Structure 1
Amino acid sequence: MCARIVAHWAREVLDGTAYGDYQSMGLSNGQYDILRDAVTAARPVRERQGTAAAHDVIGRHVGEACAARHHTGGPDEGAWR
């Protein structure tokens, strides 16, 4: 669930079609951190290789980060995080 929703919003942010804060996106603060890191990693790839390659970077980055974050099954610093 984390990877799907964070990747969706990361692609929207990268493409410039998202607006709002993490709460309006339905993300926790930690998930939003993952989103921001993924978009930061994807921007230079988009410049060099195009949007499809950048979306691939987002998918990989978010998948790995969400798996690491939720390996114990839940948030580690309170429900909002």
Structure 2
Amino acid sequence: MADGPSPKATSDVDLCVSIVGHWSREVLDGRGYGDYQSMGMSGGQYDILREVVDSARAARRKGAGNIDVLVERQAREGCTAWYRSGGPGEGPWR
């Protein structure tokens, strides 16, 4: 058995950012919305997704160039704030 560094655990915020970022790009590229459960998201993550997509669409209309940077930044801000305030509740939809 090889000794080496243990794999790093992904934080809740980083996982949220990854999920929200992925689905935001899918939606912005026209590959559609599903319901939050089919996307593997909680209701709170889905709320963040909708805010990110709305902002990205508005930025595109204004001619913004690199939407990926905006998506990443807003997903991180939304997820960080969400987990700071408690993150998911007791039901799977939160």
Per-residue CA deviation, residues 49-78 of structure 1 (Å, 9 max, x unaligned), is 24xx22211110010110111126641x32
> Is residue 2:64 matched to residue 1:49?
yes
* TM-score, scaled to structure 2: 0.73
Runs of 4+ in 1 over 3 A off after TM superposition: none
Kindly indicate which of the two structures has a greater share of residues assigned to helix.
Answer: 1
Aligned-partner Cα distance in 2 for 1:23–1:10: 15
1 CA distance for matches of 2:86 and 2:47?
Answer: 18
- CA distance in structure 1 between the partners assigned to 2:46 and 2:31 by the alignment: 16
Secondary structure of 1:49's aligned partner: coil
State the superposition RMSD in angstroms: 1.6
Distance in 1, matches of 2:54 and 2:33, equals 17
Q: Partners of 1:74 and 1:37 in 2: how far apart?
A: 17
Structure number with bigger Rg: 2
Give the paired residue count.
Answer: 78
Question: Which residue is equivalent to 2:46?
Answer: 32
What percentage of aligned pairs have identical amino acids?
51
2:24 maps to: 10
- Out of 18, 35, 44, the residue aligned to residue 21 of structure 1 is 35
